[in-house]
Amino acid sequence: MGYHHSLLFLSLLLVVAAARRPEAVVGGWSPIKDLKEPHVAEIANYAVGEYDKRSGAKLKLVKVVKGETQVVAGTNYRLVLAAKDGSATANYEAVVYEKPWLRFRNLTSFVVVGPLS
């Protein structure tokens, strides 16, 4: 019986997550309409901070250039970030997986995608 409750709970969480972002399609990527939304900034700062911690770099977030979300058993955020490394600024693509109900975040990818234009 515990398995059925867990499955029901997970299904309910997916419905709630999709309802929270009505434009989101479960499994598909949807553009983030407001890149200056506080939660998007929080995810972006987490991505840069976590990358710095793992790599020893000292990047400083300049701005979120582009962003998309993907509803899964949580939410993936795929963000293009402008960040400074000393005096050089470049764009990076970061993917962060988040389960807010568990207070869980994980940086799954962080790569250079080109210089700032």
Q: What does the pLDDT read at residue 85?
A: 92
Q: What does the pLDDT read at residue 19?
A: 47
Q: What does the pLDDT read at residue 5?
A: 52
| pTM, two decimal places | 0.76
Q: What does the pLDDT read at residue 115?
A: 72
Say how far apart CA 31 and CA 46 lie, in whole Å. Answer: 19
Phi, psi (deg, nearest 5) at residue 68: -140, 155
Long-range contacts of 33-38, Cβ-Cβ distance < 8 Å, separation of 24 or more: 35/63, 35/64, 35/65, 35/66, 35/67, 36/64
Q: What does the pLDDT read at residue 48?
A: 98
Which CATH number does the domain housing residue 57 bear? 3.10.450.10
Q: What does the pLDDT read at residue 83?
A: 97
Say how far apart CA 92 and CA 10 lie, in whole Å. Answer: 32
Q: What does the pLDDT read at residue 77?
A: 98
Q: Average pLDDT across each block of 10 residues of the chain; the chain has 117 residues. List them in order.
A: 52 50 69 97 98 97 98 97 94 98 97 79
Number of independent structural domains in the chain:
1
Q: What does the pLDDT read at residue 27?
A: 77
Phi, psi (deg, nearest 5) at residue 46: -60, -45
Q: What does the pLDDT read at residue 116?
A: 59
